Amino acid sequence: MSSHEQPQPFAPAKRSLGQNFLVDPNVSRKIVEALDLAPGDNVLEIGPGRGALTEHILARTPGRYVALEKDEALASELERRNPLAEVVRGDAMRFDWASLASGERWKIVGNLPYNIASPLIWDIVSRSEFSQAVFMVQLEAGQRVAAGPGGKTYGALSAFVQNFATVEFLFKVPPQVFRPQPKVTSAVLRFFLRTPRPTGEEVSRLAATLRLCFQQRRKQLGTILKSKGIPDYVGVLRALDIDQMQRPETLAPERFLSMAKLLPIDFL
Ligand code: SAM
């Protein structure tokens, strides 16, 4: 380095960790505003990176601010710059959410790495630790999460998420506000997690039912259930007033949960 160059605190971005850092403070501010933070709210951020959202969150005096970052170097730098942040080194796909404890519900935010966004959202929306979430994801993933029945983008992810949360598609974000720039457009979504929270059994039954139905999304429900040898599927559909000829892609999210509760568990 020549004597007039500034030292660089950050290593180059790692593609393997989906590191596209937000460099537009207006977008950061809008994302944090969407969390509707009141003083004392606890906030968990997934992948804080170089801290684009951190200062906006800390300015709103949260109760606790926990930042979960997989990249050790970024975690250390974030900790050095923000003594009020509780920085946890870890993988969001393996994190034990229950360890947040404290009995209070948390708000969760993140500009998510694209490769973990959909499974992470699937995981978060059924958990009882969270009340509200704001996530930036790849536009196509955002459209899938927010889609209603009837369209091509509606699928297991949309139906699962919408059983447990009200989803709002807030705004799109162009590649130009990131460094390095991704090839794709992003979108910011907000989730209000409904109460009462689902039980573990409801979650696993729903997941199994959606897997079954969306493996053959264009077939009729009666045909799908019959092909799996599910006893009394006719009675279950009749009890729920669901037409056997209806296709999964046209069924409202809450209808899958009703079916999941009645279908015999051994077959799911
Ligand atoms: N929040 C920052 C911003 O908006 O500029 C960084 C966003 S960048 C798209 C994703 C961040 O998530 C990176 O800091 C990356 O190191 C981190 N990350 C990637 N995979 C992760 C994982 N499995 N668990 C936790 N953090 C992860």
Residue 216 has pLDDT above 80, yes or no: yes
Q: Tell me the pLDDT of the chain averaged across its residues.
A: 94
pLDDT at 3: 43
Contact 12/90 with Cβ under 8 angstroms?
Answer: no
Nearest residue by C-alpha to atom 5 in ligand 1: 21
Ligand 1 lined by 56 (C-beta under 6 Å): no
69 forms beta bridges with 89
Ligand 1 lined by 71 (C-beta under 6 Å): yes
What are the backbone dihedrals phi and psi of residue 22, each rounded to the nearest 5 degrees, phi first? Answer: -75, 130
Q: What's CA 234's distance to the chain center, in Å?
A: 34
b/e string for 112-145 if b means 16 or more Cβ within 10 A? bbbebbbebbbebbbbebbbbbbbbbbeebbbbb
Contact 146/121 with Cβ under 8 angstroms?
Answer: no
Contact 51/218 with Cβ under 8 angstroms?
Answer: no
Residue 13 has pLDDT above 90, yes or no: yes
ipTM of the complex: 0.99
Residues 26-53 have pLDDT tens digits of 999 999 999 999 998 999 999 999 999 9
> What are the CA-CA distances from residue 187 to residues 36, 120, 153, 165 (Å)?
18, 16, 15, 18
Give the CB-side neighbour count of residue 250, counting CA atoms within 13 A. 10
Q: Which residue has the higher pLDDT, 62 or 44?
A: 44
Which residue among 20, 68, 69, 109 is best mutated to probe the pocket of ligand 1, counting the most ligand atoms within 8 A of its Cβ? Answer: 69
Structure tokens at 192: 């209000």
Strand, helix or coil at 31? helix
Residues 90-113 have pLDDT tens digits of 999 999 999 987 677 899 999 999
The model carries a pTM of 0.94
Ligand 1 lined by 177 (C-beta under 6 Å): no
